[in-house]
């Protein structure tokens, strides 16, 4: 019980720290409410525009990969949101837990169907 509580506290501190990051320079402020509405399948916040953004994406038939800081990072299947179809960006959006080794893709939203 104490370990689980400590984990939740650390997770909360980590997510709060991620929320303080600045959005990318080319961020569209009108999309901020959409980014802030993003959640994991467990209901945790994916954070906002500062942590969720476009990365180059490859698909190998089994999973998605994003190019993050010069390395291809696999997107865990449980992070891929296949239900939410209101992505206004026109591209894939990945929410990355920054400064973590190995890099973790917390949330991944599909690009809109054409």
Provide the number of structural domains found in the chain.
1
Domain assignment present for 73: yes
Q: Model-level pTM?
A: 0.73
pLDDT of res. 2 = 43
Q: Is residue 114 part of a domain?
A: no
Range of the domain at 93: 2-109
Q: Comparing 33-37, 38-42, 46-50, 65-69, which segment has the lowest mean pLDDT?
A: 46-50
Is residue 50 within 8 A of residue 23, CB to CB? The reply is yes
pLDDT score for 21: 57
Supply the mean pLDDT for the chain. 79
| In-domain check, residue 8 | yes
Label residue 55 left, alpha or beta by phi (over 0 means left) and psi (-120 to 50 means alpha): beta
Beta carbons within 8 Å of 79's beta carbon, 6+ residues apart: 40, 105, 106, 107, 108
As a whole number of angstroms, the distance between CA 30 and CA 106 comes to 23
Closest listed residue to residue 67, CA positions, set 100, 42, 75: 75
Task: Give pLDDT tens digits for 7-39.
Answer: 333 344 344 444 445 666 666 788 889 999 999
Q: Is there a domain that residue 48 lies in?
A: yes
**pLDDT tier, 56 (very low <50, low <70, confident <90, very high otherwise):** very high
| Residue 54 within a domain | yes
């Amino acid at each position: 019980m104490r370990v689980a509580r400590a984990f939740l506290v650390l997770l909360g501190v980590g997510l709060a720290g991620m929320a303080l990051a600045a959005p990318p320079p080319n961020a569209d402020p009108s999309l901020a409410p959409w980014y802030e509405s993003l959640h994991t399948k467990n209901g945790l916040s994916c954070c906002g525009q500062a942590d969720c953004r476009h990365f180059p994406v490859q698909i190998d038939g089994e999973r998605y990969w994003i190019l993050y800081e010069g390395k291809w990072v696999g997107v865990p299947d449980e992070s891929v949101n296949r239900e939410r179809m209101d992505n206004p960006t026109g591209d894939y959006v990945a929410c990355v837990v920054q400064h973590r080794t190995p890099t973790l893709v917390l949330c991944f939203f599909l690009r809109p169907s054409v």
